Amino acid sequence: MDTIATSGHFEEALERLHASGPEREGWLSNHAPMVVEALAAHGHAGAVHRWVDLYREKLEDFPDRVAPVTDDNWRAALGDPRRITDWTDHYSRVLAERPWRGVLAEWWPRLLPGMYGGATHTVIRVGHAVRALEAEENAPRLTELAHALGYWAARHQPVTGVVPLPGAPTATAALDAVPAIEAGHMGFRNRLSAVRRLPAWADDVTDADTARERLTELVRAATHRYATHGHGEPTMLVHAATAPNAVLRTLDSLPRDQWAPSLRAAWTASAAVTAMYAPVEPVAHDPAARLTPEEVMERALAHGDEHVIKLTDTALDVGDEVALAAARRAVEISPPLA
């Protein structure tokens, strides 16, 4: 973490990227701010400009403003993607006036039910922004949090009507028990609406420390699962691990009474993505091709794909051999950044 706390390359990259909006082609996410944070956090701040140069053709301008978001009208603007710029303006104003942890604590419970919008990239971007701010507070990092929260508010999308199935004792067993949605649904939003049944897991947790333990367990289980199931959809299944890890990274910046609700939302996100994309049959991961964490991140950077880098970032947080195998698997089955 020392690199992200001291290198100006990261701030320079953020300043470049903040001229661009959080989406492209209508709803695809701009991953660049998340990737440059992950690279900087793992000692590759010197590579962020080169990576942004490769990615820049995927960047688009912000949409036009509609009307200011205020304390009186925010509920009507929540979940309206036309208001991305309005929401970004709102959080920029608020974060200029108040400490960022207080803003996060106020808005986290409002936004948490809709963390499934933007294919969960909304909460993932917030998780990266919070990790950067916990390392060091400065203007570009605060601006990044404003952009991340604005994206989340504009793409806020709850999951409703899910019938709980009998639970399982562990996160691994619960993910194994997730039923796949019926075939034929295309696109994240249509697939998400087809998620009707999910196993209950950790739904009785109320203690904050237990919530952290179970969330850590979920991130590990979802990351391990990618090593054997990532071929179901190499890009989308990344989010079964990176979305709950974004929540886990944010816990220490939140009031403790928000930790258990955060666990439940993270489980629903991970399980829903698993239902939408997981294959029926797993494949064995290769335990022989052992690399150090540094070598795994170097391979991810050389590959360049944004989801590969972000899964590798999460795999390094988990830190064990199966997690590193998941990152290597992502390199193998994902198309590289062109």
**Residue ranges of the domains in the chain?**
2-154, 159-338
What is the predicted pLDDT for the residue at 266?
A: 98
**Mean pLDDT for the chain overall:** 94
Please list, in sequence order, all residues whose beta carbon lies within 8 angstroms of the beta carbon of residue 235, skipping any fewer than 6 positions away. 307, 334
Under a CB-based contact definition with an 8 Å cutoff, are residues 327 and 234 in contact? no
Model confidence pLDDT, tens digit, residues 186-240:
778 888 888 999 999 999 999 999 999 999 999 999 999 999 999 999 999 999 9
| CA 126/CA 337 separation, integer angstroms | 23
Does residue 3 carry a pLDDT above 60?
no
What confidence category does residue 281 fall into, taking pLDDT thresholds of 50, 70 and 90?
confident
What is the predicted pLDDT for the residue at 257?
A: 98
Does residue 2 carry a pLDDT above 60?
no
What confidence category does residue 1 fall into, taking pLDDT thresholds of 50, 70 and 90?
very low
Rounded (5°) CA angle 311-112-157: 85
What is the predicted pLDDT for the residue at 4?
A: 59
What is the predicted pLDDT for the residue at 189?
A: 80
Does residue 6 carry a pLDDT above 60?
no
What pTM was computed for the model? 0.96
